[in-house]
């Protein structure tokens, strides 16, 4: 990647990806060879990929693609946004210690269950520490990740 090129923001990436769902289906899905195309979904947190779930669903379920998913972190920093989930799971997930302790297992299970609906074949959890999210790539902190491990997984 060229250093002088600005990285796309998450919003621009998602807008570009959403265009795939608008493509007309020229060949009936039944006539496509199974698993002709593959897509690897790489996201920082569990549930990030569902921002473009319709694209994944269309590619896998309607167009016959194969999809695998790499999730870099466990999503434990999501405790800040877990108030509504406390009633579902019966745990004080919005408290830092409780959320960080329980959210990794909860979010992994949710990712796998939702992935079954979308048709994701395999999930690869890299178990890197989640320090939160940023709205653009330039301000994202990934210094706590084992970069060689992440790159080798991709």
Domain CATH code at residue 89: 3.40.50.10320
What pLDDT score does 50 carry? 82
8 A C-beta contact, residue 59 and residue 67: yes
Does residue 4 belong to any structural domain of this protein?
Answer: no
- Using the predicted structure, report yes or no on whether residue 137 has a pLDDT greater than 80: no
8 A C-beta contact, residue 30 and residue 58: no
- What mean pLDDT comes out for the span 112-141? 85
Query: What is the reported pLDDT for 113?
Result: 94
Residue 43 in any domain: the answer is yes
Structure confidence by residue, pLDDT tens digits, 36-59: 789 999 998 898 888 889 999 999
Number of domains in the chain: 1
> Residue 19 falls within a domain, yes or no?
no
In a domain, 14, yes or no: no
Range of the domain at 92: 34-132+142-153
Within-domain flag for 85: yes
Q: Is residue 9 part of a domain?
A: no
pLDDT at 49: 84
- Report the share of the chain in percent with pLDDT over 70: 73
């Amino acid at each position: 990647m060229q250093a002088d090129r600005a990285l796309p923001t998450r919003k621009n990436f998602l807008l570009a990806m959403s265009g795939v769902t608008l493509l007309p289906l020229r060949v009936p899905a039944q006539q496509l060879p199974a698993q002709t195309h593959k897509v690897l979904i790489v996201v920082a947190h569990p549930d990030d990929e569902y921002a473009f779930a319709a694209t994944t669903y269309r590619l896998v379920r309607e167009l016959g693609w194969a999809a695998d998913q790499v999730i870099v972190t466990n999503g434990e920093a999501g405790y800040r946004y877990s108030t509504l989930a406390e009633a579902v799971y019966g745990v004080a997930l919005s408290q830092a210690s409780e959320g960080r302790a329980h959210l990794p297992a909860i979010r992994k299970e949710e990712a796998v269950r939702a992935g079954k609906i979308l048709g994701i074949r395999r999930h690869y959890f890299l178990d890197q520490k989640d320090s939160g999210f940023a709205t653009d790539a330039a301000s994202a902190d990934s210094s706590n990740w084992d970069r060689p491990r992440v790159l080798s997984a991709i």
